[in-house]
Structure formats: C-alpha cells, structure tokens
Chain A
Amino acid sequence: MSFSETQNRWNGFLKKIEDRFKEVLEKTEAALPLLFEATDFETTTFNNAWQGIYSQASDLIYKIDDVWYEKVGETFEDAGIEFNSNQFIQERNKGFYTKFDLEQKLKSYEVKIFAEAAKMLVKKVKDTLSEDFCCTQCQAKLPVKDNFFRSYYSTCEYCQTVNTFEPGTKARNVEHFAIHALGEEAALEHYLQYEQLKFQNYLEDREVNGKDHLTMQYRKYVEAYLKKRIEIIPDYGDRYEKDLEAKIALVTNY
C-alpha cells in the first residue's frame, strides 16, 4: 500500500471514530435526562446508564491507539516512512490529537449531562422544601431550610416541641449527587485547560509546562468547584481551606 493510500485510510478511520463518538454522545445527551425523569430522579440508575455509555465511548477512543500500534504504524513503515521520522511522528500525532480531543469532549459531555440532571433534581427538591411542614404536636407551620439537605431538629415556637425534619431521599441526593455535578460544571473550563497543559507535556515528551504551572491551573479548577458547592450549601464555607488543600494534595503528592 502506498503512503497516500495508507494516509487516506488512517484519516478515514479517525473520521469514522469521531463521527461514531459524536453520534453516541448526542443521542445520550437527549436520552439520559428523559431516563432520569422517568425513574423519578433515581441517581443510581442514572449513574449505571452513564457508566455503560462512558465505557462504549472510551472503547472508541482506545481503538485509536490500538489500531495505530497494531496496524497503522507498521503499514506506514512498509510504505517507506522511516520509524520516528517527522512524517511518521506527524501521522502518529494525528491519532494523539484525535484521542485527546475526544477525551476532552467525553469529559465535557459527562459534566454537561450530569449538571443538567442535577439542575432538574435541585429544582424538584426546592419545590418540595417550599411546601408547608407542620409541627407534629400542634400543627403550627415550621420553617424549613431550602439549602440544607440532611435531617435536623426544628423546635416549634408555639408548643416548644422538638421536631426532627427529614428532607427525604431526593434532597439528600442533592448533597451526594447534584453539588458535585454542578461544581464540576462551574469548574469545567479550568479542568479542560489543566488537561491541555498535561497533553502538551505528553506530546512533546518533556516538561513544556512545569509542575508549578500545572498545580496553579489545577488550583483554579478546585477553587471554582468548591466555590460553587458553597453557593449551593453555604455550610461548606467553613471547611473551604481544608478542602482546597486536600484536593490539591491529590495532584501534588502523587
């Protein structure tokens, strides 16, 4: 096979992967919110469905490396392109670029799909928490917090009875599911930029962007993530510094 034939097939293969990836994720973007609504905002089913789709999309991405290392690189060499020559590296990098681009898109889709579901859940919970809740003893109306999603004591100001307010499973899922998704959405731009810097290092096989630069970018991501969480649950403000330090340590210590 000649160089141009090999190149055409390689370009065609990459295009097919991109098209298939786009098709799967676009359908998912439309279908998952419907599933979430149909299961009455059940987060485990939603997570499991996403895991299945994520796995399909990841398999498509990994195919790029597999096909290059198993077939394409060798076919280029057979076509007279010297291993590690500029032309060889240029063709190999096409695969790297496509793979990285799809990884970034997969992350973006993931964040967007989860954030949409999170917004639906938060709206549903806020509607529920804005209903009237009455003291179990005297039926007087009790104030209910709309930004605290665990159970707490609420004393009736008329009869002094201590009531325990249980916000319910959906409200608890705001803390377990929604705030992470919304934090990720708020910080996505910084995360993608962080991955971009790491990719530059990988592509050039040297530290184009040093550790300090990477940490600084990662810090922007964590700050945006944590600030969004505090916006939804103000109580998290008390442990902001501690959370920030712990999350940054994940990348600086390992």
Chain B
Amino acid sequence: MEENNNEKPKKEKNILDDILANATASTKKYEETNAGLETKKCNGCGAARPDDTDLQYCDFCGNQFY
C-alpha cells in the first residue's frame, strides 16, 4: 500500500516533466540577434551614409553600396 502511494505522485510528475523536457530538447534553437546599431559604410572610402543621401551610391566617392 505504501509502495503504491509512493509510485503515484512520481508517475503524475513525469507527464508534465516529459512534455517540458521534450519541448526543450526537440525545439531547434536559432541564434538570437541583440539590440544594437549599425551603419552602412562605403567599401571604397569608408564613409558612413549621411542623412538624406542616396542609399545605392556613396555620396562622397560614388562607389556602389549594394
């Protein structure tokens, strides 16, 4: 009788534990991006893109950004 009482909670605990363990183990993990700032810089002259300028070409040397 005592053995049965001991077994029951163990079994019930496992149902939820199994689901959580399975979700943790089987979910594919992707690399996270952190919050931050970046600036597109020209490969030719290294200038950063100033406000109100062409996104495609560098405003200083005319080099193509993309």
Residue of A nearest to B17 (CB): A31
Q: Which of B20, B24, B38, B50 contacts A160 (CB 8 A)?
A: B50
- How long is the Cα–Cα vector from A65 to B35 in the complex, in angstroms? 50
Known: A31-B16, A48-B26. A168 touches B50 (CB 8 A): no
B5 on the interface (CB 8 Å rule)? no
Would B22 and A136 count as touching, CB distance under 8 A? no
Q: B51 — which chain A residues lie within 8 A by C-beta?
A: 155, 160-162
A201 on the interface (CB 8 Å rule)? no
Q: Which of B20, B22, B28, B39 contacts A164 (CB 8 A)?
A: B39
Query: Which B positions have Cβ atoms within 8 angstroms of A?
Result: 12, 15-16, 19-20, 22-24, 26-30, 32-40, 48-51, 53
Complex A-B: 9 CB contacts under 8 Å: A45-B23, A133-B36, A136-B37, A162-B53, A165-B35, A165-B37, A168-B36, A170-B32, A170-B35
A71 on the interface (CB 8 Å rule)? no
Q: Which of B20, B27, B50 contacts A162 (CB 8 A)?
A: B50
Would A163 and B39 count as touching, CB distance under 8 A? yes
Known: A23-B12, A42-B29. A35 touches B37 (CB 8 A): no
Given contacts A162-B48, A166-B36, list 9 more A-B pairs with CB under 8 A.
A24-B15, A31-B20, A52-B19, A53-B19, A161-B50, A162-B39, A162-B51, A164-B37, A164-B39
